[in-house]
Structure 1
Amino acid sequence: MLAQDKATPFLWGYRLYVAAFFVFLAAPLVAASIFAFNDSVFPALPWQGFTLDWFFNDSEPKLGMFHDRRLLRGIYYSFVIAAFVSTLSVTVGTTNAFLFVRGQFPAKNFFYILMIVPLVIPGVILGISILVLASNTANFLENRFDMELELLRPGIFLVVMGQFSFITTITSLVITARLKKFDESMEEAALNLGASRARVLRTITLPFLRPAMIAAGIVAFLVSFENFNTTLFLVGSEAPLTITMYDRVAKVGSTPVLNAVSFALIIGSGLLALVSILVQRDKTVR
């Protein structure tokens, strides 16, 4: 009884800490969501009334996000970049998983650590490094061979490569964790029954990995879509949404239309996360 009484203050302190932690995380999101519906040209109190103008209005001074061509263009470029990055990252991440789980080669642990390194490098350093490497390579080719490679200049290709360089680490770790749980005797049984390795991979191994691949793809898409640090140094004229919003804040200041965009991103991210959870739970139940 005495030990239980001593544990009670600690338990309440722990609960208060957890509650404060989640409030700290959720408060900015809740504030941004509320001001997206405030009938005011400033994203601040007092509350002026409920409105959907910051989403659907087609004229100034309350130009909604669905009529703001620059924001829509930024969303489009973000979708294009995120689609390429997630596809490449899942493909290479799956290959990496097989390489490090099934493969046996010299210095395997060293290369595994090398694969993880981009995840701990600050995005600013990563972006600058890729920009310097690409620019120096492009300048060398132009000066030496009179070759102009636009792909090595700031633009969508460099943004995709920059994000791909560290997001692949995330997908590799997620898919590797799933592959380690796979029972290889299932493959051996199929091979003994006459199935080819390609068919075993297509009908047994990849279906087992599919939940992790989908989850990794969703995570890669979201991380790419919201990435700013690396993208800032590699972007060209095709600015994705994060850069467009940063430029808007730097020139005009925060406006409720940016809150509307933030609210849309919160809902979209939440739905994608829910899809990821449902896909993995469905597979687990089966």
Structure 2
Amino acid sequence: MARNGNNWAFLLGYRAYVLAFFLFLAAPLVSAGTFAFNDSLFPALPWQGFTLDWFFNDTEPKLGMFHDRRLLRGLYYSFIIAIAVAALSVFAGTCNAFLFVRREFPAKNFLYIVMIVPLVIPGVILGISILVLASSVANGLEDRYGLELEFLRPGILLVVLGQFSFITTIASLVIIARLKKFDAAMEEAALNLGASRARVLMTITLPFLRPAMIAGGIVAFLVSFENFNTTLFLVGSEAPLTITMFDRMAKVGSTPVLNAVSFFLMVGSGLLALLSILVQRDKPGG
């Protein structure tokens, strides 16, 4: 009897913990999303009525996000940066997967750890380190040889390189996990039948890795799009959305249009995350 009572108490406590955990995660998101539709100039109670002005209105004082040129410009820069980082990360991640899964070489385990290290370095430290290194190299080359390397100065290219330095690790881990499941006997059979290594790679290996490559690209895109700490130290005049929102918040304070942007990003991120899960699901019999 006492044992059943203990089990009941444990189950009740566990459910209460899970409920509190998800409420803690969801409450800020629900709050931000709700105030995006509040017909008020301030993102606060009381509720003034439902409106879509913070998305589509084209006049002040309720200028919607889709008519706010600065926010749209930030969204554009974020999209360009995220696409570039995702493409580079998937390419490098695929190469890393073949290197660490298929090859044996000296210090392999050490280099694998080195590849993972950027994930545990705080974004602020990573951003400062990349900025100092890039600036030192650029200044040294300019002083000694008169070379002006703009991509080493704060701007979109440096943001892409800075984000790529740690996001490629995430893509690598996703693709490595998939490659470890691959049955090398399929490649051997194709080679024995006369197929070239390039043909085997294009028709057998890469199609098998495609779900992980797509998922890795989606994850890389999302991480790049929402990155703030590293980007803050590397950005130039072309500020991505996270920096634009931070600057707006610092100068004006919280406004419903920022809630509208947050809601838009939550929906977009959720759909991409769902797509990432779906593409990684093995088909029946696959």
Give the count of matched residue pairs. 286
**Which whole-Å CA distance do the structure 2 matches of 1:5 and 1:203 have between them?**
59
Question: Equivalent residue for 1:48?
Answer: 48
**Which whole-Å CA distance do the structure 2 matches of 1:91 and 1:179 have between them?**
14
Deviation at 1:277, TM superposition (A): 1.9
Deviation at 1:282, TM superposition (A): 5.6
Q: Is the 8 A contact 1:175 1:216 kept in 2?
A: yes
Question: Equivalent residue for 1:193?
Answer: 193
Q: Deviations over 1:95-114 (max 9, x none)?
A: 00110000110000000000
Q: Give the secondary-structure state (helix, strand or coil) at the position aligned to 1:237.
A: coil
| Cα distance change of structure 1 residues 109 and 282 upon mapping to structure 2, 3 Å threshold | closer
**Which whole-Å CA distance do the structure 2 matches of 1:12 and 1:285 have between them?**
40
Question: Equivalent residue for 1:128?
Answer: 128
The AA in structure 2 aligned to 1:19 is L
Question: Equivalent residue for 1:62?
Answer: 62
TM-score, normalisation: structure 1: 0.98
Deviation at 1:132, TM superposition (A): 0.3
**Which whole-Å CA distance do the structure 2 matches of 1:284 and 1:64 have between them?**
45
Question: Equivalent residue for 1:86?
Answer: 86
| Cα distance change of structure 1 residues 284 and 94 upon mapping to structure 2, 3 Å threshold | farther
Deviation at 1:273, TM superposition (A): 1.2
Question: Equivalent residue for 1:114?
Answer: 114
Question: Equivalent residue for 1:95?
Answer: 95
Question: Equivalent residue for 2:72?
Answer: 72
Question: Equivalent residue for 1:228?
Answer: 228
**Which whole-Å CA distance do the structure 2 matches of 1:276 and 1:91 have between them?**
17
**Which whole-Å CA distance do the structure 2 matches of 1:121 and 1:280 have between them?**
28
The AA in structure 2 aligned to 1:103 is R
**Which whole-Å CA distance do the structure 1 matches of 2:75 and 2:62 have between them?**
19
Deviation at 1:248, TM superposition (A): 0.1
Question: Equivalent residue for 2:141?
Answer: 141
Q: Is the 8 A contact 1:211 1:283 kept in 2?
A: no
The AA in structure 2 aligned to 1:116 is I
1:248-267 equivalences under 5 Å are: 248-267=248-267
Deviation at 1:232, TM superposition (A): 0.0
Unaligned runs of 5+ in 1: none
Tell me which moved more, 85-94 or 270-279: 270-279
**Which whole-Å CA distance do the structure 2 matches of 1:70 and 1:116 have between them?**
36
**Which whole-Å CA distance do the structure 1 matches of 2:283 and 2:202 have between them?**
17
Q: Give the secondary-structure state (helix, strand or coil) at the position aligned to 2:183.
A: coil
Deviation at 1:5, TM superposition (A): 2.5
Question: Equivalent residue for 2:150?
Answer: 150
TM-score, normalisation: structure 2: 0.98
Q: Deviations over 1:13-53 (max 9, x none)?
A: 01110111011001111000100000000000000000000
**Which whole-Å CA distance do the structure 2 matches of 1:190 and 1:202 have between them?**
12
Unaligned runs of 5+ in 2: none
**Which whole-Å CA distance do the structure 1 matches of 2:284 and 2:18 have between them?**
29
Q: Is the 8 A contact 1:55 1:64 kept in 2?
A: yes
**RMSD over aligned Cα atoms:** 1.0
Q: Give the secondary-structure state (helix, strand or coil) at the position aligned to 2:138.
A: helix
Deviation at 1:276, TM superposition (A): 1.5
Deviation at 1:2, TM superposition (A): 4.0
Deviation at 1:281, TM superposition (A): 2.2
The AA in structure 1 aligned to 2:61 is P
**Which whole-Å CA distance do the structure 2 matches of 1:16 and 1:282 have between them?**
34
Deviation at 1:93, TM superposition (A): 0.4
